[in-house]
């Protein structure tokens, strides 16, 4: 505590200082919910301490985030224009941080210590600020943990970039956020945003290239905070339809010792500037964001390399095996037209052998395609896996099968649920091929009231579900067991001469969606 003047310590009226308990309680209400009633209580408690201490008046201005800013007056200092001879001013501090300014009007005949009264206010306000800061730190750590968990393990580059932008906007309580990925020359090659509607994004026009303030922040190797970008002379290129933006926080993102991008946050909510605490929190998040981006990029590179290697392997296998066999068949048929006139029996045998060879080549192609399916199913998820099963089924049977999907998204099911549902669908299609004598089948999956419903149906001969079935129907038992294993249930519907339908329902896993949007260039 510092004062512009000092006074000798004398006897203090205890009534005033005891009122500091009410000030502390009122500050707690103000910390939790800074509304009108809390303000009235704080002003009343402050006034009672001032008058109870025998002071003429008092003025307190509290400016200590995360406590909401507040100003209260009492007694002779209710009117700002009145000058008082006994005015003493103080800075109320906690450590090296100034929390508030206090002015007290001490009458010349006062017989108490004004300094002691000011010290009491300093202790109460310091305790309230310390508690508020501890609560804020706890909330920030929880929010940071949630944000970093949300991006950890995401290996799709586009998705992780959008998730980072959405999460940092929530973390810093900003109206808008953007993530600029920079190229080797320092220009912005990708600009991912959050907080602007699709319509606004289209009206803004092309994404920025790194001029103006964005370019300044790209060059800077440290965070940048700006009070109002509208008033900054470095601003450049605001499109006519750009939403209003004022306060700004820019934080670099690095990975492996090099800069890979910048986070931009604008319009601190509910109002005001971004603080040092915001800067520190976003910097910690940026460390995790850099790791997540690098991991996603590495995964993408590995996937691309794997695809190239797989294409080369497929090309070699086709060329060395199937293509050579078909080429040999073609050679064997070249002189068949001449043989048909001179040696018809030899020509007939040559054609029959060619047909047998082509049939074998077709079987080889089928086996080759099916050999790729496990990897495709593993990577495609439920919807892609069902499509792959349907393709395989069409090749292997004379039954036409359609795939229908409604409202199912990636992440609705756990990997175990996805695997079990694909196995059930495979078994159901196998039963159609072996027993149904159907000409048409349907595989459908839909999201419905918190559930995922898989349906496999056919227009075959059907059967009586109540009739006891023999060992050949073990597949149905297996399907029921798989459904139960993932917390679902299986329903069998079949009518002789009409067809069969198998329905499996499992609980849907809740997921978070990403808000894809775009921000213009300040």
What are the sequence ranges of the domains in the chain?
A: 2-141, 152-301, 333-507
Give the CATH class of 333-507.
Answer: alpha beta
Report residues of the chain scoring pLDDT below 50.
Answer: 4-15, 111, 373-377, 472, 511-522
Phi, psi of 446 (to 5 degrees): -145, 155
pLDDT at 419: 83
Burial class of residue 374, CB neighbours in 10 A (0-12, 13-18, 19+): exposed
Cα separation, 298 vs 155, whole angstroms = 9
Query: Which is nearest to 234 in space by CA: 221, 222, 219, 223?
Result: 219
Q: What angle do CA 204, 205, 207 make, to 5 degrees?
A: 100
Give the CATH class of 152-301.
Answer: alpha beta
pLDDT at 358: 84
* Gyration radius from the chain CA atoms: 37
The enclosing H or E element of 288 equals: helix 276-317
pLDDT at 281: 93
Do domains 2-141 and 152-301 share one topology? The answer is yes
pLDDT at 517: 37
Q: pTM value?
A: 0.52
pLDDT at 349: 87
Long-range contacts of 457-460 (CB under 8 A, 24+ apart): 457/499, 457/500, 457/501, 457/502, 458/399, 458/432, 458/499, 458/500, 458/501, 459/498, 459/499, 460/432, 460/435, 460/436, 460/499, 460/500
Q: What is the CATH number of domain 2-141?
A: 3.30.450.40
pLDDT at 298: 87
Q: Where are the alpha helices (DSSP H) in 318-410?
A: 324-332, 336-342, 344-396
Q: Where are the alpha helices (DSSP H) in 68-174?
A: 114-151, 157-172
Locate 76 and state its tokens: 């002779």
pLDDT at 385: 84
Rounded (to 5) percent helix, strand, coil in the chain = 50, 20, 30
Distances (CA, A) of 27 to 38, 57, 127, 178, 346: 8, 20, 10, 37, 106
SS3 state of residue 491: strand
For residue range 271-313, what is the model confidence (pLDDT) as tens digits? 889 988 899 999 999 999 999 998 888 888 888 887 777 777 6
| Residues 247, 272 contacting (CB under 8 angstroms) | yes
Query: Can you give the length of the chain in residues?
Result: 522
């Amino acid at each position: 505590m510092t004062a512009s003047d000092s006074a000798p310590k004398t006897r203090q009226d205890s009534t005033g200082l005891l009122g500091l308990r009410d000030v502390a309680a009122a500050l707690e209400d103000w910390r939790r919910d800074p509304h009108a009633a809390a303000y009235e209580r704080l002003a009343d408690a402050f006034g009672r301490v001032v008058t109870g201490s025998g002071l003429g008046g008092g003025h307190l201005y509290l400016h200590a985030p995360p406590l909401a800013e507040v100003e209260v007056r009492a007694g002779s200092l209710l009117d700002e224009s009145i000058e008082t001879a006994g005015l003493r001013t103080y800075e109320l501090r906690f450590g090296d941080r100034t929390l508030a300014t206090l002015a007290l009007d001490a009458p010349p005949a006062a017989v108490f210590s004004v300094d002691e009264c000011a010290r009491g206010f300093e202790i109460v306000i310091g305790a309230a600020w310390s508690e508020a800061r501890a609560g804020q730190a706890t909330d920030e750590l929880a929010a940071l943990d949630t944000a970093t968990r949300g991006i950890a393990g995401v290996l799709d580059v586009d998705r992780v970039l959008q998730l980072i932008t959405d999460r940092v906007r929530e973390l810093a309580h900003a109206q808008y956020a953007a993530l600029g990925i920079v190229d080797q020359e320092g220009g912005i090659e990708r600009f991912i945003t959050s907080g602007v509607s699709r319509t606004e994004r289209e009206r803004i026009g092309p994404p920025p290239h790194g001029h103006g303030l964005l370019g300044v922040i790209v060059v800077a190797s440290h965070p940048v905070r700006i009070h109002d970008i509208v008033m900054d002379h470095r601003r450049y290129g605001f499109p006519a339809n750009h939403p209003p933006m004022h306060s700004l926080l820019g934080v670099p993102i690095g990975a492996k010792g090099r800069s890979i991008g910048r986070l931009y946050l604008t319009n601190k909510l509910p109002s005001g500037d971004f603080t040092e605490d915001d800067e520190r929190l976003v910097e910690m998040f940026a460390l995790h964001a850099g790791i997540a981006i690098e991991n996603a990029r590495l995964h993408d590179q590995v996937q691309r390399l794997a695809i190239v290697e797989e294409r080369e392997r497929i090309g070699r296998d086709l060329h060395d095996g199937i293509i050579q066999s078909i080429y040999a068949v073609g050679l064997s048929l070249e002189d068949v037209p001449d043989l048909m006139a001179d040696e018809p029996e030899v020509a007939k045998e040559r054609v029959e052998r060619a047909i047998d060879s082509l049939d074998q080549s077709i079987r080889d192609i089928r086996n080759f395609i099916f050999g790729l399916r496990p990897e495709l199913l593993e990577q495609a998820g439920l919807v892609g896996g069902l499509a792959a099963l349907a393709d395989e089924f069409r090749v292997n049977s004379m039954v036409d099968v359609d795939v229908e999907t409604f409202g199912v998204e990636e992440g609705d099911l756990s990997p175990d649920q996805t695997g079990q549902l694909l196995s059930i669908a495979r078994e159901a299609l196998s039963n159609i091929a072996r027993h149904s004598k159907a000409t048409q089948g349907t595989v459908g999956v839909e999201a419905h009231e918190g559930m995922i419903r898989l349906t496999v149906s056919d227009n075959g001969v059907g059967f009586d579900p109540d009739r006891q079935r023999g060992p050949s129907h073990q597949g149905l038992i297996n399907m029921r067991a798989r459904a139960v294993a993932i917390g679902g249930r299986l329903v069998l519907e079949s009518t002789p001469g009409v067809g069969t339908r198998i329905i499996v329902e499992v609980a849907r896993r809740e997921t978070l969606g990403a808000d894809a949007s775009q921000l213009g260039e300040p």
